Amino acid sequence: MGLFIVLLGAPGVGKGTQADLISRELHLPHVSSGELFREAIKSKTPLGVEAQGYLGRGELVPDSLTIAMVRERLQRPDCANGVVLDGFPRTIEQAKQLDGILAESGAAVNLVPYIKAETATLLKRLGGRWTCRNCQTVYHVLYNPPREPGKCDACGGELYQRADDTPETHRRRIEVYLDQTAPLIEFYRQRRLLVEIDGEQDIQTVYGQLLAAVQRVAREQRIGAQRCIGCGE
């Protein structure tokens, strides 16, 4: 038993923020594909070294390697009661592999919240991003502005807009995501795991609906008897 959540949503919808909030609330690890890679590379695990080889040559990391990293991560003790997955799976093939990994420990995906927003909204949100040159903290002119324009709150570093932060590359990223995940969304819908959440709303409203969906599933599983999903008591 546990809560194995796969969070879906296009770039710009605020999926990472929501994954952070919900994982803290539920005391479950937030496992994002990006961080999985960075951590494996940094700690020089055999899989990390292999992944770095591909990235260093500017090649795509093969699916089998990504899946091996996910398996390694999910088998750690902190994932025994569940996990919030963010950025994985991206394809039906990966989703099936994930089912296999979870089945090894008698678990399964319990809920797939899909945070949806119009492309115009996503473009607007992706558009105002500024990154600190020094500590890489990301700000947004509308949603998370620095106290002083152009200056990092955390370290005082200079803020810049990445060269690939253009409306064209944003549009492309959104299209790729939607194309790639449309079959995955259908896959989870058919299994009655998908819950659509309106991502046009503000962060707190989206979060409230996400939490409500999780609490419903938790009640169904009666794990609420051990610990309140709402307050952690």
Active-site residue 192, yes or no?
A: no
Active-site residue 227, yes or no?
A: no
- Rank residues 149 and 183 by Cβ distance to Zn ion and give the closer one: 149
138 binds Zn ion (CB under 5 A): no
Q: Which of 84, 60, 35 is nearest to 180 (CA)?
A: 60
Which residues contact residue 166 at a Cβ distance below 8 angstroms, ignoring those fewer than 6 apart? none
In the beta sheet, which residues pair with residue 138?
131
Binding map of Zn ion across residues 141-180, x = CB under 5 A, - = no contact: -----------x-xx-x-----------------------
Active-site residue 171, yes or no?
A: no
- Rank residues 29 and 146 by Cβ distance to Zn ion and give the closer one: 146
- Rank residues 91 and 137 by Cβ distance to Zn ion and give the closer one: 137
Q: Which of 90, 124, 189, 227 is catalytic?
A: 90
Q: Which of 162, 172, 191, 219 is catalytic?
A: 162
Binding map of Zn ion across residues 93-132, x = CB under 5 A, - = no contact: ---------------------------------------x
Could you tell me the smallest distance in angstroms from the CB atom of residue 139 to Zn ion? 9
Q: Which of 124, 151, 171, 173 is catalytic?
A: 173
Active-site residue 162, yes or no?
A: yes
Q: Which of 135, 176, 182, 228 binds Zn ion (CB under 5 A)?
A: 135
Three-state helix/strand/coil letters over the chain: CCEEEEEEECCCCCHHHHHHHHHHHHCCCEEEHHHHHHHHHHCCCHHHHHHHHHHHCCCCCCHHHHHHHHHHHHCCHHHCCEEEEECCCCCHHHHHHHHHHHHCCCCCCCEEEEEECCHHHHHHHHHCEEEECCCCCEEECCCECCCECCECCCCCCEEECCCCCCHHHHHHHHHHHHHHHHHHHHHHHHCCCEEEEECCCCHHHHHHHHHHHHHHHHHHHCHHHCCCCCCCC
Active-site residue 133, yes or no?
A: no
Could you tell me the smallest distance in angstroms from the CB atom of residue 37 to Zn ion? 22
Hey, which residues are catalytic here?
Answer: 15, 90, 129, 162, 173
Q: Give the binding site for Zn ion (CB under 5 A).
A: 132, 134-135, 137, 152, 154-155, 157
